[in-house]
Amino acid sequence: MNRAVNFLREYGRSDFVPQPAPRAPGRFVPYIFTHYEIERFFSAADSIEYKRQAPLAYKIYPLLFRMLYCCGMRMSEATSLRAEHVDLKNGVLTILNAKHNKDRLIPMSDSLTQLCRAYSEEVLPIGSEFFFPSPYGGQLASTTVYNRFRDLLWKAGIQHLGRGKGPRVHDFRHSFAVHRLAKWSLDGIDLYTTIKLLSVYLGHKDLSSTQVYLRLTAEVFPYVTAKFETSFGDVFQEVLV
């Protein structure tokens, strides 16, 4: 059963089985996690056991992957995040020199901020340069994060579909954007305004990069299509092509 149906049933909207949306040849299609898959993945992350050769891994990865999903961050932004750029009082992350040389502030939810505070107080080594340090005190390598990600996918029972098909670590960012747009739609929030906020939050160069998520959201949540068309008109039709 396709994932769109799982989403619809999760929200109690419909049991209609939509046909797969046609895709342009060669167009990359991100993997959008279901909410149930997200729960299973984090459950697997929370079950990481302490090991002497990686003494902080059981604390680092549950928080790191939650930050990737809950804040829509790029993996490079998370692994290079410095401890001094995590405002534990106000719950704000400072991202410097990201893609396109853009800086931005990322407000966190209260629950994620609480997790960061507990992590900082109980786990983070005093004087650590990076918020997610490697076992040697430097920056976590992307290959190390990816290998852990693949291991947690397996433990969570989430199938990897092969090279180029995902899930990839970066698909947490795509899933965040799609889930957020769908939630705003369900809540009746003005999408014309909020997609601009989402674009800034994600650190996109321009709004066109964010509009791609309109199509992805419509594919996964068919019932939001009408609302998108109402808000964006011709723009939405162009994004669907």
DSSP string, 29-81: ------HHHHHHHHHHHHTPPPBTTBTTHHHHHHHHHHHHHHHT--HHHHHT-
Q: Which residue has the higher pLDDT, 63 or 8?
A: 63
Look at residues 143, 146, 111, 115 and name the one whose alpha carbon lies nearest to residue 131: 115
Bridge partner list, 139: 133
Is the residue at 207 inside a domain? yes
The last residue of a domain, from among 93, 121, 156: 156
Q: Which domain holds residue 195?
A: 3-30+170-240
**pLDDT reading at 199 higher than 90:** yes
Same domain, 233 and 215: yes
pLDDT of 106: 97
The pLDDT value given to residue 209: 87
Helices marked H in 47-167: 57-71, 75-79, 110-122, 142-156
pLDDT in tens, 15-24: 444 444 444 4
132 and 190 assigned to the same domain: no
- What is the value of pTM for the model shown? 0.81
CATH number for position 91:
1.10.443.10
Pair 106, 83 in one domain: yes
The answer on 225 and 189 residing in a single domain is: yes
pLDDT, position 44: 98
